[in-house]
Structure 1
């Protein structure tokens, strides 16, 4: 579980995060959404420790990040997996080398142990026979699978994803969404996804945090978001005809 308590973050005179309080449970896919400039990227980077918050606390299963010493922060980072926007794979490395990189960097595993673990996660994300291919030799969807495999290779407790569906066609995006949700539940990971993809909200939004102008404007599930009368949420979410139809369906089912 990640608990966020009244965090604030400013850059000079600009206050970007304005007292956000929420929590993210293990085994649940949590999505952070909002318009450009809403603060969601700074929020995600604050959770990752890239930005130090000005006030408030962020705790990981009771460990308050700001209270940890250097060694404790390093240990916590080994429990975190990250899927970057655009995958951020090493072009010169093969699929198995990309996935095994965190194990070589941050563990004392033997080459045999690394290979066994890499083979396991490659199979888990359905990348069979891709071991020796370079990123340029596989599709965008397969690159995302490699990025997910690399993120989970070290058995993380916490998984952060920044726009994991960026650049993917809708069908492949749904496959990636489902894979992330399956892994989250299978390994009881606390997963936080920064996204603008409303299809992801429908597919895997077990918890949704909606930010606007640095404030937590609304939070709830993907079922609740279709029923809310919060004007900021409806203006953002229901701009497409698809969402208008889906909301109408949800509301009619309640009658």
Structure 2
């Protein structure tokens, strides 16, 4: 679990995060949503320790990030997995080598053990026998699954996903969503997902934090978000014709 208490962060005298309190539950897909400029990325970078808050606390399983010494922060980073927006695979490495990279960096596994682990991961993300392929030789959806495999290679306690469906078609995006949720449940990971994709919110938003202007404007689940009367949320959610139709259908009892 990750707890956020009264988190503030600004740059050049301009406040970006203005006092955020949130809790991200273990074993659930926790989503951070909001319009561009709402503070999502800054929020994530504070949680990852890339930015230091101006005020507030970030607590990992009861332990404050700000109170950790360098060695403990290094250990914590080994417990984190990161799925980047554009996969961020190493172009010069094969699929297998990409997945083994964190194992080589952060574990004492021998080469044979790393390869065995890579094969287990490839089977889990449904990419069997693609070990020797280069990233340029596989599809965007397959690249995203390799990136997810790399993110979970070290059995992290915490998984962070930054716009995991960016650039994917709806069908492939749904596959990635379901895979993230399945892995979260199987491994009891605390998963935090930044997204603007309302299809993802509908599919896997077990807990949702909606940011607006650096503050939490609403919290709930994917079952609750379509029932809220919070104007900021409804403006965001029903900005597309598709979700306007969903709202109308719900109100008409379909």
TM bucket, shorter chain:
over 0.9
1:30 alignment partner, SS class: strand
Query: Cα offset for 1:51?
Result: 0.6
1:53 aligned residue: 53
2:175 aligned residue: 175
1:227 aligned residue: 227
Question: 1: CA distance between counterparts of 2:142 and 2:161?
Answer: 16
**Conservation of the 8 A alpha-carbon contact between 1:87 and 1:147:** yes
Query: Cα offset for 1:67?
Result: 0.4
Structure 2 gap segments, 5+ residues each: none
Between 227-236 and 242-251, report the one with greater CA deviation. 242-251
1:21 alignment partner, SS class: strand
Question: 2: CA distance between counterparts of 1:235 and 1:32?
Answer: 16
Q: How many residue pairs were aligned?
A: 254
Structure 1 gap segments, 5+ residues each: none
**Conservation of the 8 A alpha-carbon contact between 1:227 and 1:251:** no
Shift in alpha-carbon separation, 1:252–1:223, aligned structure 2, 3 A: farther
Please give the TM-score of this superposition, normalised by the length of structure 1. 0.97
**Conservation of the 8 A alpha-carbon contact between 1:208 and 1:219:** yes
2:28 aligned residue: 28
Question: 1: CA distance between counterparts of 2:248 and 2:49?
Answer: 40
Query: Cα offset for 1:243?
Result: 1.2
Query: Cα offset for 1:248?
Result: 3.4
1:49 alignment partner, SS class: coil
Question: 1: CA distance between counterparts of 2:249 and 2:142?
Answer: 34
Q: Deviation per CA, 1:54-102, whole angstroms, max 9, x where unpaired?
A: 1110011001000000000000000000000100000000000000000
Is residue 2:151 matched to residue 1:145? no
- Report matched runs for 1:1-255 at 5 Å: 1-252=1-252
**Conservation of the 8 A alpha-carbon contact between 1:25 and 1:190:** yes
Please give the TM-score of this superposition, normalised by the length of structure 2. 0.98
Question: 2: CA distance between counterparts of 1:238 and 1:219?
Answer: 17
Query: Cα offset for 1:252?
Result: 4.9
Question: 2: CA distance between counterparts of 1:244 and 1:187?
Answer: 36
Query: Cα offset for 1:118?
Result: 0.8
Question: 2: CA distance between counterparts of 1:29 and 1:210?
Answer: 14
Query: Cα offset for 1:12?
Result: 1.4
Query: Cα offset for 1:253?
Result: 5.1
Question: 2: CA distance between counterparts of 1:72 and 1:65?
Answer: 9
2:232 alignment partner, SS class: helix
2:30 alignment partner, SS class: strand
Q: Deviation per CA, 1:92-124, whole angstroms, max 9, x where unpaired?
A: 000000000000011111111111111101100
